[in-house]
Amino acid sequence: MIYPGIKLSRRNKNRNQHNQNRDTVTFKEKDFLPTTRAEMEARGWDQCDVILVSGDAYIDSPFIGVAMVGRMLERMGYRVGMIGQPDVKSDVDIKRLGEPRLYWGVSGGSVDSMVSNYTATKKFRNSDDYTPGGVNNKRPDRATLVYTNLIRRYFKNTVPIVLGGIEASLRRITHYDYWQNKLKKPILFDSKADVMIYGMGEIALEQLTRAIDEGRDYRDIRGICYISKEPVHEYIQLPSHQDCLDNKEKYIDMFDIFYDNNDPISANGLCEEVDGRYLIQTPPCDYLNEEEMDANSKLPFTRELHPYHRKDGKVKCLETIKFSIMTHHGCWGECNFCAIGVHQGRTIRTRSEESILGEAKDFNKYKDYKGIISDVGGPTANMYGYECNKKLKLGTCAHQRCVDANHLCSSMKVDHSRNINLLRQVREVEGVRKAFVASGVRYDLINADKKHGYSYLKEMVKHHISGQMKVAPEHTQQRVLELMGKPGKQELIDFKKMYDKLNAEEGKKQFLTYYLIAAHPGCTEKDMHELKRFTTDELQMNPEQAQVFTPTPGTYSAVMYYTEMDPVTRKKIFVEKDTKRKEKQKEIVVKKDNFRSGFAS
């Protein structure tokens, strides 16, 4: 038997060959991938090689993961069909393209379906930015599971089903499910799928597709999960699913190991026993390098909603993503309530300036482009263009963060100079009237960059924000901030002084708006009163909104919520679980107060 991942090189030998074949397929710029039988026939196809099923309508944008997958497969020479938001109560949609030759690719969509469908207090959301018309009536709960069951119902003994996307990726091991309030098995055990590509998985996608096409055993491919009857002894053995059910500290142990094994350089494979079978996670696949990221940005996206869906109305998400530019992948901020580090990775991968400027110039081809770029950024906008040299050589550090509530690692040399130069060049691109930076910005990194931080913020104030700049302190109480993995409140105070000073220098009246979280593990009503006092006295503003914390899979905060323990010290912490008291925490900070004259709102 060939065990997966044993003695694997970081890059499979055939990757370079695949890269050489990338430009052999020609495209028509305005073509969508087919989503109807008529479109297939117009291309002369009798069968698709791969059919992708998604919880989103088919939006052909580089910001939509399943669209990127489709375009990558198309570049490889495969015939790809798309089915967005299929009717799950009939076979009309799932059967309209027939059965694929190689495999089905299933994603819950750009947003986890349970997060998309429910608020933090478990109220159903009426709107969906990825559904035509904006009405939330087409994305089922647990969409990944529903779609795999739908395929199995109407296609007996079909080709493999491959899971991907954030919903599946964050549920790949035993995980806490907030909506059912229990630990659930790895999603492959609850679904009827054959294999999963986890994380961004671009290289795994190419290699898995080739392996299935050539009839090869794919279990030696990095970046996948599958179920085995036997363990892989060379991999790290996680606490079993039953161990996690029986002992909350075992669950923390499991998540610690899982979290520390997400880097392509330093990670090992993982093996978890579940009811006598085994979840096998091979080590992560390589990240794309700059050249490969640039190549993906040139894929022929239409940046439109497919005509099949337009009869039902527009999709709101296009208002922000159509003319936005993704400059990089990854984030090492490691906020405990955020899953970006687990899904995208904690190492920054950047596109070249030439590629980004080319994309900005290409916007002029669109009739509805008015010279406004909605966003030039990434998961954290001001992480573009620099990384820790130690991490690039050895991978992420185990049990040590780049940044937390108390300090920035001395090995991380924050440098905004490349980002400053990029923004200046974007402004000079023909046709650009305004280029906003709407992605999140870490103000503690601006403070830390003594050489270029002030200049970067000056560029932002002068050119790249519109009336207000959004920052995310989330809280101000040190004990809560430490559990969140967020910087201390003094960082915010120092940043605000710099921001206000620059606005005064530029003669502008631009304000800061603040993302705040209520009812995070460790947060009490007293903490929210202190937060309210801080916003009133120090920030001189009245928060208009705060969000109640949602425990999402793949995050340390969800681990805290379930176990009611600090995962570092293993000491018990307060966790608010009563819905009404969660809402009360939120109301404490957003309650309207009367301000003295001259306070900004």
Q: Give the residue numbers of the binding site.
A: 331, 335, 338
Do residues 309 and 132 make contact, with C-beta atoms less than 8 angstroms apart?
yes
Which residue from 554, 549, 552 is spatially nearest to 346, judged by alpha carbons? Answer: 554
Alpha-carbon distances of 164 from 110, 224, 339, rounded to whole Å = 11, 10, 15
Beta-ladder partners of 105:
52, 162
Do residues 448 and 488 make contact, with C-beta atoms less than 8 angstroms apart?
no
Report the sign of the C-alpha dihedral through residues 555, 559, 565, 567, in that order: negative
Neighbours of 290 (CB within 10 A): 13
**Residue set of the binding site for [4Fe-4S] cluster:** 331, 335, 338
CA–CA dist 184, 177 (Å, integer): 6
Do residues 270 and 238 make contact, with C-beta atoms less than 8 angstroms apart?
yes
DSSP 106-161: EE--SS-HHHHHB-TT-PBPSB-TTSTTSBS-S--TTHHHHHHHHHHHHSTT-S-E
CA–CA dist 73, 413 (Å, integer): 37
Which two tokens mark 356? 């980004």
CA–CA dist 174, 562 (Å, integer): 13
CA–CA dist 124, 100 (Å, integer): 34
Alpha-carbon distances of 319 from 130, 341, 368, 432, 586, rounded to whole Å = 11, 26, 11, 17, 29
CA–CA dist 184, 80 (Å, integer): 33
The single residue listed with the structure tokens 């176990």 is 563
Which residue from 457, 469, 449 is spatially nearest to 505, judged by alpha carbons? Answer: 457
